[in-house]
Amino acid sequence: MRTICLYFQIHQPFRLKKYRFFDIGKDHFYYDDFLNKSILRKVAEKCYLPANQLMLDLIKTYGKQFKIAYSLSGTVIEQFEQFIPEVIESFKKLAKTGCVEFLGETYSHSLASLQNSNEFEEQVKLHTNLIHKHFGQKPAVFRNTELIYSDDIGKRVASLGFKAMLTEGAKHVLGWRSPNFLYTNAVEPRLKILLKNFRMSDDIAFRFSDKNWDEFPLNAEKYVKWLNDIDGKDEIVNLFMDYETFGEHQSRETGIFEFLRELPNRIFLHSNFEFKTPSEVTEKHQPVSPIHVQYPISWADEERDLSAWLGNEMQDEAYSKIYKTGEKVLKTKNENLIKIWRSLQTSDHFYYMCTKWFSDGDVHIYFNPYDTPYEAFINYMNVISDFEILVDKALEDSKPAKKSATKSSIKKVKPKTEKTVAKKSAATAKKKSRK
Amino acid sequence: MKILMFGWEFPPHISGGLGTACYGLTKGLVKNNTEIMFVVPKAYGDEDTSTARFINASDVETIGTQTELEKLWGNISFIQIDSNLVPYVDEKEFNLCASIDKVEKREGIFRHKYSFTGKYGVNLMEEVARYALVAATIAKNNTFDVIHAHDWLTYAAGIMAKRVSNKPLVIHVHATEFDRTGENVNPNVFDIEKQGMEQADKVITVSNLTRNIVINKYGIDPEKVETVHNAVDFHGRENIEIKRNVGDKIITFLGRITYQKGPEYFIEAACKVMERCNNVRFVMAGSGDMMKKMVRRVAKLGMGTHFHFTGFLKGEEVQQMFALSDVYVMPSVSEPFGISPLEAMRSNIPVIISKQSGVSEVLKYAIKVDFWDVDAMADLMYGLVMYPSLSKFFVRNGQAEVNSLKWENAAAKIREIYNQVTNI
């Protein structure tokens, strides 16, 4: 039997409110609670809740035959807790079926894996604990922010005890090879690598409702035919996508839920594929070879690199600024400040500053609360400027014989920091072309 | 194809965006295989004729003089008309200056032929009418395929020329009365504008912003109105290097200090920025009817030590001002196009422009803001001054963007419009 591996990403950032420079030093609450709450509610209603219900139904119908995997960022879990706890409950139900695997990632959906500091390891551990607390599983397979991967990152992930990692089946890395096999990290062969079949994945995630697509409309029958058309020697088809595909990016009216409901049935009846979670894939299949990835790849855009988050002057300054602040932040040992700092690391903040899409901004406008990358940058920098003032103050207060003033000044921040903000996943910015 | 074009100024007597635009446009059109006869009212009589050859045109000599600038202009010929028409002056203001010094100075070639109510020349509307009559004569005595008239002062001339010659008329809207005065429109001017637009076979607007005004406020059929964005020509222009005396960052407003340009919003935003940082200075360069009011406002806000007025800048001084600036702001309330931000970008300065400007439709590497949103404007000023990577980003990309706005492309679109109207 060949294998289909389904994994869905769930992430929302803590979106920042409009923060003017004259707020610096005065206003220490940075998030747009109203916006975050509205987005969370909307997406929960359209996607998370109905899609979870559908998955539960499928698992009830097919039992252990139907398997899926999720990765939830820490920031989205925090927001679920804060705004719509019933979503967490429905994920817990799914966890109890034993058919669902939860993957590990960085707590705040950050780019910390590109840093030399310990921050990456810290965030992974935090996330692992969070997942364990809610879903009773300790993640064994890792999925980095936006599927960012390189040999070095893989090595670090392996040292944290993960047995496998997911990433993009990027053409420029694979060359003639197929993504439909299990690979291993080039430095640490114990770490297995699962590669996304971006063509088959994006057929659902991006092209499903595209009327200009020559394969429109897509139905389960056609899709299973494509699966069967895949070279007989290929072993695994990894379908990785944003969970918001179901009901949000592809609205209910497009028939996406019917497609998903029908798909397993078709697969069982008309193909030799079976569903496995990423962990099961690594046990069932043998790796064919190591894969060398010297420079980081990701699942975003045509380039499949980091250019959606880093590269222009603004992104680079903002990015280096937030991590530079880190040393001071950690010195304060103030939990709230550290928490804010982590929320500011979320990759979406840098994604909004991207200037690549001036020409074809369609996909991006949808995910972006700012009109222009410049506003995103100025807003972020204003927030960081204020945050630095807070951090410096906290450090100063903690130096001499711990004055009581420290506590009070930081307390003010506390209720605010518990709130979080959400943004749409940057990963969804992939292009539409099927090739 | 031969075009009879009515304008109101040409180099070197450029007093604003329109002269620059006409200059670039005609140059571009010549490259697009078009021959142009350019008629301008001659207000000063001291036009640079060193590169020009006077042509004694038979019938036109009673009306004006025809000039051909050999090297520079190739196949554009000029017809100058002695007239008091001055751009950017409203009727009231015109009456004022006309009565002071123009009347006695003017040698009326027309006096013999066209004497209106006995007191010609002091009334702008009469000037417009007079220009129109002259236009009729020119139209009668020359052959051409299309008439092209720039802005309201020449619309009547365009209409007359059309009547006489039966050739299609294209009018080019660089600004409307609504841009110049807000809602306090002069009904006479409005009527002339509306008539021009109605009589025209095609109306060209310099931006979609202006196109919407033409359609909505003048009730012109959208089918007839086409946008051709202005471009910019930096040929022969060098950026100037200047040593600075102060270490402070300089944020600049450069333009006429009038309602249309929104100077008060610049001041309010400046005040907000100044409250938070003391290493920033503001410059308001230019002159205009709101200048005194602005000086008083700055004094009242107590910003005097860091807010400077330069008065009107000309020629090289403009370049120097750009060379000294770190940020350029154009907070126009209503700007049909607005060429100065392009000059700033060309001088490697990041620009903040109002969304109510035509130029914002063609620029990606400019920060856009609503003119009334002084909070946002202040925030952007602060961001550009405090976060250097933002500035760097604009300097890197702005230059290339500006250089890609070519008059040849705009002229090609206009040429296309000529083709349309001649096939009617």
Q: With a cut of 90, say whether residue A30 has pLDDT above it.
A: yes
Which residue among A291, A322, A351 closes a domain? Answer: A291
Q: With a cut of 70, say whether residue B386 has pLDDT above it.
A: yes
In a domain, A306, yes or no: no
**Are B14 and B89 in a shared domain?**
yes
Q: With a cut of 70, say whether residue A392 has pLDDT above it.
A: yes
The two beta strands, A192-196 and A182-185, are: antiparallel
State the pLDDT at residue B67. Answer: 38
8 A C-beta contact, residue A379 and residue A16: yes
**Are B182 and B221 in a shared domain?**
yes
Collapsed DSSP state (helix, strand, coil) of residue B301 = coil
**Are A328 and A243 in a shared domain?**
no
A17 phi/psi in degrees, rounded to 5:
-80, 170
pLDDT tens figures, B304-317: 888 999 988 877 88
Q: Which residues of A344-361 are buried (b: 16+ CB within 10 A; e: fewer)?
A: bbbbbbbbbbbbbbeeee
In a domain, B242, yes or no: no
pLDDT tens figures, B101-116: 333 333 333 333 333 2
Q: How many helices (H) and strands (E) does chain B have?
A: 16, 15
Tell me what percent of the residues of chain A surpass a pLDDT of 70.
Answer: 89
In a domain, B236, yes or no: no
Task: Print the domain residue range for A236.
Answer: 2-291
**Are A278 and A317 in a shared domain?**
no
A229 phi/psi in degrees, rounded to 5:
-75, -20
In a domain, A19, yes or no: yes
Task: Print the domain residue range for B87.
Answer: 2-231+406-422
Q: With a cut of 70, say whether residue B117 has pLDDT above it.
A: no
**Are B195 and B260 in a shared domain?**
no
In a domain, A286, yes or no: yes
**Are B218 and B282 in a shared domain?**
no
- 3-state percent helix, strand, coil for chain A, nearest multiple of 5: 50, 15, 35
pLDDT band at A401 (very low <50, low <70, confident <90, very high): low
Least confident range of A16-30, A252-266, A403-417, B10-24: A403-417
Separation of alpha carbons A134 and A67, rounded Å: 19
In a domain, B237, yes or no: no
- Answer whether the bond into residue A217 is a cis peptide, omega within 30°: yes
CB of B30 less than 8 A from some CB of A: no
Q: With a cut of 80, say whether residue B47 has pLDDT above it.
A: no
pLDDT band at B35 (very low <50, low <70, confident <90, very high): confident
State the pLDDT at residue A165. Answer: 97
**Are B279 and B413 in a shared domain?**
no
Interface list for A 339-398 with B (CB within 8 A): 355, 358, 371-372, 374-375, 377-378, 381-382, 385
Q: With a cut of 90, say whether residue A363 has pLDDT above it.
A: no
Tell me what percent of the residues of chain A surpass a pLDDT of 90.
Answer: 81
CB pair distance less than 8 Å for A358 and B379: no
Collapsed DSSP state (helix, strand, coil) of residue B76 = strand
Rounded to an integer, the average pLDDT of B222-248 is 83
Q: How many helices (H) and strands (E) does chain A have?
A: 18, 12
The two beta strands, B307-311 and B225-227, are: unpaired
Q: Which residues of A232-245 are buried (b: 16+ CB within 10 A; e: fewer)?
A: eeebbbbbbbbbbb
Q: Which residues lie below 8 Å from residue B25, measured CB to CB, with a gap of 6+?
A: B407, B410, B411, B414
In a domain, A344, yes or no: yes
Separation of alpha carbons B265 and B378, rounded Å: 10
Q: Which residues lie below 8 Å from residue A265, measured CB to CB, with a gap of 6+?
A: A220
State the pLDDT at residue A370. Answer: 87
**Cα separations in angstroms, B242 against A11, A16, B239:** 51, 40, 10
Chain A closest-CA separation from residue B379 CA (Å):
6
Least confident range of A8-17, A341-350, B134-143, B397-406: B134-143
Contacts of B364 in chain A (CB under 8 A): 358
Separation of alpha carbons B300 and B264, rounded Å: 13
Which residue among A291, A324, A351 closes a domain? Answer: A291
B11 phi/psi in degrees, rounded to 5:
-55, 145
Q: With a cut of 60, say whether residue A420 has pLDDT above it.
A: no
**Are A213 and A281 in a shared domain?**
yes
**Are A270 and A127 in a shared domain?**
yes
In a domain, A434, yes or no: no
State the pLDDT at residue A346. Answer: 96
Q: Average per-residue pLDDT in chain A?
A: 89
Rounded to an integer, the average pLDDT of A233-239 is 96
- Angle at which helix B187-199 crosses helix B155-165, to 10 degrees, equals 40
**Are B122 and B256 in a shared domain?**
no
**Are A401 and A287 in a shared domain?**
no
Q: DSSP string spanning A330-374?
A: HHHT-HHHHHHHHHTTBHHHHHTT--TTSSS-HHHHHH-SSSSHH
CB of A316 less than 8 A from some CB of B: yes
State the pLDDT at residue A67. Answer: 96
Q: Say which residue, B278 or A122, is predicted with more confidence.
A: A122
**Cα separations in angstroms, B86 against A313, B97, B152, B377:** 46, 10, 12, 34
State the pLDDT at residue B194. Answer: 93
Domain containing residue B398: CATH number: 3.40.50.2000
pLDDT band at A44 (very low <50, low <70, confident <90, very high): very high
**Are A18 and A134 in a shared domain?**
yes
CB pair distance less than 8 Å for A24 and B383: no
Nearest to B383 among A313, A358, A378 (CB): A378
Domain containing residue A108: CATH number: 3.20.110.20
Q: Hunting for tokens 């990835």 — which residue is that?
A: A293
State the pLDDT at residue A105. Answer: 97
In a domain, A430, yes or no: no
Searching chain A, which residue's CA lies closest to the CA of residue B396?
A313
**Are A284 and A335 in a shared domain?**
no
**Are B383 and B413 in a shared domain?**
no
pLDDT band at B17 (very low <50, low <70, confident <90, very high): low
Sign of the alpha-carbon dihedral angle for A106, A108, A109, A115: negative
CB pair distance less than 8 Å for A22 and B272: yes
pLDDT band at B16 (very low <50, low <70, confident <90, very high): low
**Are B388 and B413 in a shared domain?**
no
**Are B212 and B305 in a shared domain?**
no
pLDDT band at A330 (very low <50, low <70, confident <90, very high): very high
- The pTM of the whole model exceeds 0.90: no
State the pLDDT at residue B12. Answer: 62
Separation of alpha carbons B422 and A162, rounded Å: 75
Nearest to B379 among A21, A313, A372 (CB): A21
In a domain, B283, yes or no: yes
State the pLDDT at residue B19. Answer: 76
**Are B20 and B123 in a shared domain?**
yes
Separation of alpha carbons A227 and A268, rounded Å: 12
Q: With a cut of 90, say whether residue A201 has pLDDT above it.
A: yes
Contacts of A355 in chain B (CB under 8 A): 393, 397
In a domain, B362, yes or no: yes
Interface list for B 266-295 with A (CB within 8 A): 272-273, 275-276
State the pLDDT at residue B239. Answer: 73
Q: Please name the amino acid found at residue A163.
A: K
CA proximity to B254, closest of B347, B126, B133: B347
**Are A167 and A246 in a shared domain?**
yes
State the pLDDT at residue B104. Answer: 33
B308 beta partners: B283
State the pLDDT at residue A329. Answer: 95
Chain A closest-CA separation from residue B308 CA (Å):
23
**Are A272 and A334 in a shared domain?**
no
State the pLDDT at residue B367. Answer: 93
Separation of alpha carbons A288 and A285, rounded Å: 9
Separation of alpha carbons A258 and B411, rounded Å: 54
pLDDT tens figures, A134-185: 999 999 999 999 999 999 999 999 999 999 999 999 999 999 999 999 999 9
Which residue out of B273, B277, B361, B390 would a mutagenesis test of the A interface target, given it has the greatest number of A Cβ atoms within 10 Å? B390
State the pLDDT at residue B14. Answer: 60
**Are B168 and B286 in a shared domain?**
no
Q: With a cut of 50, say whether residue A210 has pLDDT above it.
A: yes
In a domain, B24, yes or no: yes
pLDDT tens figures, B70-107: 333 344 454 555 554 544 444 544 444 443 333 333 33
Collapsed DSSP state (helix, strand, coil) of residue A245 = helix
What total of structural domains would you count in chain B? 2
**Are B284 and B337 in a shared domain?**
yes
**Are A279 and A347 in a shared domain?**
no
Q: With a cut of 90, say whether residue B232 has pLDDT above it.
A: no
**Are A245 and A357 in a shared domain?**
no
CB pairs under 8 A between A and B: 59
Separation of alpha carbons A411 and A398, rounded Å: 14
B240 DSSP 8-state letter: P
Contacts of B375 in chain A (CB under 8 A): 20, 22
Q: With a cut of 50, say whether residue A419 has pLDDT above it.
A: no
Q: With a cut of 70, say whether residue A254 has pLDDT above it.
A: yes
Searching chain A, which residue's CA lies closest to the CA of residue B351?
A374
State the pLDDT at residue B249. Answer: 93
Which residue among A232, A259, A291 closes a domain? Answer: A291
What total of structural domains would you count in chain A? 2
The two beta strands, B64-69 and B52-55, are: antiparallel
Nearest to A20 among B375, B390, B397 (CB): B375
In a domain, B238, yes or no: no
**Are A112 and A234 in a shared domain?**
yes
Q: Annotated active-site positions of A, please?
A: 146
CA proximity to B235, closest of B35, B364, B38, B406: B406
State the pLDDT at residue B314. Answer: 77
In a domain, B239, yes or no: no
Contacts of B272 in chain A (CB under 8 A): 22
Q: With a cut of 50, say whether residue A418 has pLDDT above it.
A: no
In a domain, A375, yes or no: yes
CB pair distance less than 8 Å for B379 and A381: no
In a domain, A435, yes or no: no
Chain A closest-CA separation from residue B245 CA (Å):
27
CB pair distance less than 8 Å for A377 and B387: yes
State the pLDDT at residue A365. Answer: 56
